[in-house]
Amino acid sequence: MGTSLDIKIKRANKVYHAGEMLSGVVVISSKDAVQHQGVTLTMEGTVNLQLSAKSVGVFEAFYNSVKPIQILNSTIDMVKPGKFPSGKTEIPFEFPLHVKGNKVLYETYHGVFVNIQPQKGKLTPSPVDFTITPETLQNVKERALLPKFLIRGHLNSTNCVITQPLTGELVVEHSDAAIRSIELQLVRVETCGCAEGYARDATEIQNIQIADGDVCRGLSVPIHMVFPRLFTCPTLETTNFKVEFEVNIVVLLHADHLITENFPLKLCRT
């Protein structure tokens, strides 16, 4: 039978913050005694930037410049050269989570462009009132062909605590065309690159329907969206990459007209 090695972390959820202590044990199991040249343990935290399939061939000029950004690196000598006895040997360890230099310990995150392997912030509410009419829409080729409509509403804040829902309300004051559906679309926007160029990728990560059918005019429709834990992180902006979020209010009319209003969001963990 060979020798097996396992690393066990004491904290069950494996969530840590800067300044805390990462502790656990290295478990070495062997049927027979094992001679060794010492045991060292290295902890490393990196931010990896990568090209998505749609950008390969377009931004390869800066691909080699997009190097992994190291934010944590610590090594400890656990055991000097010697021999492990047969059976199970447990070696405890502790690592302080201190970042390198002036780097920031970003929250672990996996996206299309940006992967962060191991930020609290202050949040100021920013309520937004909106009015949607044919005249307020952008990128419309034949505005005269659009049916008349008037939609009002507000978002309680576009600066959002990531653990709390995005809230607000929407009211269809008037619409010549019948409404089929009203949806909230959460979009993640990842940008990475360097002086040679930047790649930008927008991905829909959540879509929820807040109204189905031709809603009553003048009726308040609540806006309530919980941010998906696995696909969101606090808004980030660094020299080489950005992770941003937007929400679209999408109104689909029976005449196959699609109305979209976009709102940039700033996510924060307090």
Q: How confident is the model at residue 52 (pLDDT cuts 50, 70, 90)?
A: low
pTM greater than the 0.75 cutoff:
no
| Model pLDDT, residue 119 | 40
Is the model more confident about 238 or about 186?
Answer: 186
Decide if 150 contacts 131 (C-beta within 8 A). Answer: yes
Res. 109 pLDDT band, cuts 50 70 90: low
Please compute the mean of the pLDDT values over residues 227-253 and round it to a whole number: 87
Separation of alpha carbons 268 and 270, rounded Å: 6
Structure-token pair, residue 157: 């804040």
Place of tokens 């034949």: 142
Q: Is 107:233 a contact under the CB 8 Å cutoff?
A: yes
Tens digits of per-residue pLDDT, 61-108? 455 555 666 777 778 888 888 888 989 999 898 888 777 666 666 555
User: Residue 56 above 90 pLDDT?
Assistant: no
C-alpha to C-alpha distance for 108 and 180, rounded to whole angstroms:
39
Instruction: Spell out the residues 6+ positions from residue 164 whose beta carbon is closer than 8 angstroms to its own.
Output: none
pLDDT digits (tens, 9 = 90+) for 126-142: 899 999 998 888 877 77
Characterize the bridge pairing of strands 34-36 and 82-84: antiparallel
Query: What CA–CA distances, in Å, run from 210 to 185, 220, 250, 251?
Result: 11, 11, 10, 10
168 torsion bin: left (phi>0), alpha (psi -120 to 50), beta (else): left
Supply the pLDDT for residue 174: 94
Q: Per residue in 198-219, pLDDT tens?
A: 778 889 999 999 999 999 999 9
